[in-house]
């Protein structure tokens, strides 16, 4: 029997009923850690198909869970590093992969926020694609960490709760445009791949989800001279988003004298009375470059 057929049979028997599988293993979903499992194996294949992955890719999967994405990934790409922090779930997944005769998956019982990505790169000898149905309560933290390691990553394909996905895609002038929007859009091009109704998950979450492709290999043509300062500037600006830009930065943690700020606004051609959410990503880059020169 082929590997693909074995995997399909396992999924038909178990992944379409995560409730039954978890019960059989004596596992209760931990809502407080954001555990929501795909309850239809066909959706896992749909997600992998929409992601445009190839047989040459190496994927780091975040929150592998019961394998609803792990198995179709393993049948599509060269290698999968599947991160699963929950030891009981990881053991269950190992069993599922063994029964499906899948051998190109390495399960890492790690916290993704503490995982050393460089070690995985050293093992795989190539840059990674990150993919996962992210735990809702740490989605932003995972995304900022992904940005910090983007030199090791070609793209991130993440399932977010719909509200967070909208914030990531938001453009200047929107009420939901903020630090996350600017940080991601500075580093990458962002594309929506599909949306999923809450009914596709068990336990059922309160919100729908959206799959985004964050492509680090095709960022906008923008370059901050000092990227660390750029990210600090954006954080300071949106830390007091109800204030004018001048007051937000004056009161922030950057420690820039008011006189220097005034000169920088003039040179950047930016009105200091504007609010942070009205500045485009390019505006923040221009202001950052002027201020970093002043410093």
CATH code for the domain in which residue 157 is found: 3.40.50.150
Q: Mean per-residue pLDDT for 46-69?
A: 97
pLDDT at 251: 79
Q: Are residues 167 and 34 in the same domain?
A: yes
Q: What is the mean pLDDT of residues 142-166?
A: 97
pLDDT at 14 over 80: no
Domain-terminating residue out of 182, 215, 248: 215
Tens digit of pLDDT for each residue in 201-218? 999 999 999 999 999 999
- State whether 257 and 198 are in the same domain: no
Same domain, 43 and 148: yes
CA distances, 234 to each of 69, 165, 182, 245 (Å): 34, 19, 8, 10
The backbone torsions φ and ψ at residue 85, rounded to the nearest 5 degrees and listed phi first, read -75, -35
Among the candidates 152, 184, 215, a domain finishes at 215
- Phi (first) and psi of residue 60, to 5 degrees: -100, 110
Say what the pLDDT of residue 295 is: 55
Least confident window among 73-77, 161-165, 184-188, 289-293: 289-293
Q: What is the mean pLDDT of residues 134-141?
A: 92
Domain check: are 179 and 69 in the same one? yes
Distances (CA, A) of 152 to 60, 83, 134, 264: 11, 17, 19, 34
Report the percentage of the chain scoring pLDDT > 70. 92
The pLDDT of residue 252 is above 80: no
- Which of 75-84, 208-217, 254-263, 270-279 comes out lowest in average pLDDT? 254-263
Residues 207 and 251 occupy one common structural domain: no
Q: What's the pLDDT band for 13 if we cut at 50, 70, 90?
A: very low
Check whether residue 66 and residue 88 sit in a common domain: yes
| Banded model confidence at residue 129, pLDDT cuts 50, 70, 90 | very high
Say whether both 185 and 249 belong to one domain. Answer: no
Cβ density class 268-284: b for 16+ within 10 Å, e for less: bebebeebbbebebebb
Instruction: Supply the pTM of this predicted model.
Output: 0.91
Contact of 157 with 212, CB cutoff 8 Å: yes
Together in a domain, 114 and 86: yes
Based on the domain organization, do 130 and 250 belong to the same domain?
Answer: no
- 3 pLDDT exceeds 80? no
pLDDT at position 167 over 70: yes
Residue 239 maps to a domain: yes
Q: What token pair was written down for 112? A: 């993704």
* Containing structural domain, residue 70: 3-215
What CATH code is carried by the domain that includes residue 234?
1.10.8.100
Whether residue 221 is contained in a domain is answered as no
Judged against a pLDDT cut of 80, whether residue 10 lies above it is answered with no
Q: What is the pLDDT of residues 61-107, one digit of tens each?
A: 999 999 999 999 999 999 999 999 999 999 999 999 999 999 999 99
pLDDT of 135 reads 87
Residue 220 lies in a domain: no
Residue 136's pLDDT band, with cuts at 50, 70 and 90, is confident
Going by pLDDT thresholds of 50, 70 and 90, the confidence category of residue 35 is confident
- The token duo for 31 is 């809502």
Residue at which a domain ends, from 186, 215, 244: 215
Q: Residues 179, 281: one domain?
A: no
Please indicate, yes or no, whether residues 196 and 234 belong to a single structural domain of this protein: no
**pLDDT recorded at residue 7:** 57
Examine residue 222 and state whether it is found in any structural domain, yes or no: no
Q: Is the pLDDT of residue 6 over 80?
A: no
User: How far is the C-alpha of 244 from the C-alpha of 57, rounded, in Å?
Assistant: 45
DSSP string, the chain: --HHHHHHHHHHHTTT-HHHHHHHTT----GGGT--EES-HHHHHHHHHHTT--TT-EEEEE--TTSTTHHHHHTTSSEEEEE---HHHHHHHHHHHHHTT--SEEEE-S-TTT--HHHHHHHHSS-EEEEEE--GGGHHHHHHHHHHTGGGEEEEEEEEEHHHHHHHH--TTSTT--HHHHHHHHH-EEEEEEEE-GGGEESPPSS-EEEEEEETTS--S---SSHHHHHHHHHHHHHTTTS-HHHHHHSSSS---HHHHHHHHHHHT--TTS-GGGS-HHHHHHHHHHHHHH-
Indicate the number of domains in the chain. Answer: 2
Cα dist from 190 to 28, 97, 170, 212, whole Å: 35, 32, 10, 7
Report the distance separating Cα 24 and Cα 10, nearest Å.
15
């Amino acid at each position: 029997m082929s590997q693909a057929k074995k995997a399909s049979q396992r999924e038909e028997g178990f992944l379409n009923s995560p409730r039954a599988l978890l019960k059989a293993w004596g596992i209760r979903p931990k809502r407080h850690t954001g555990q929501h499992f795909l309850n239809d194996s066909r959706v896992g294949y749909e997600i992998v198909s929409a992601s445009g992955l190839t047989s040459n890719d190496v994927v780091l999967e975040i929150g592998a869970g019961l394998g609803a994405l792990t198995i179709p990934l393993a049948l599509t790409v060269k290698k999968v590093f599947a991160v699963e922090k929950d030891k009981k779930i990881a053991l269950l997944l190992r069993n599922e992969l063994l029964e499906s005769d899948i051998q190109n998956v390495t399960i890492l019982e790690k916290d993704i926020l503490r995982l050393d990505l460089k070690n995985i790169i050293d093992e795989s000898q190539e840059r990674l694609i990150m993919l996962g149905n992210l735990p809702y309560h740490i989605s932003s933290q995972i995304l900022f960490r992904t940005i910090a390691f983007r030199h090791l990553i070609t793209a991130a394909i993440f399932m977010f709760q719909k509200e967070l996905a909208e914030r990531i895609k938001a453009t200047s002038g929107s009420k939901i445009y903020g630090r996350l929007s600017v940080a991601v859009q500075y580093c990458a091009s962002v594309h929506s791949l599909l949306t999923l109704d809450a009914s596709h998950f068990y336990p059922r979450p309160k919100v729908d989800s959206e799959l985004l492709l964050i492509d680090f290999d095709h960022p906008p043509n923008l370059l901050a001279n000092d990227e660390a300062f750029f990210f600090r500037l954006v954080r300071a600006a949106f830390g007091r988003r109800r204030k004018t830009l001048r007051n937000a930065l004056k009161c922030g943690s950057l420690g820039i004298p008011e006189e220097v700020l005034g000169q920088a606004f003039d040179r950047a051609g930016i009105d200091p009375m504007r609010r942070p959410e009205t500045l485009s990503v390019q505006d923040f880059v221009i202001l950052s470059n002027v201020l970093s020169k002043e410093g």
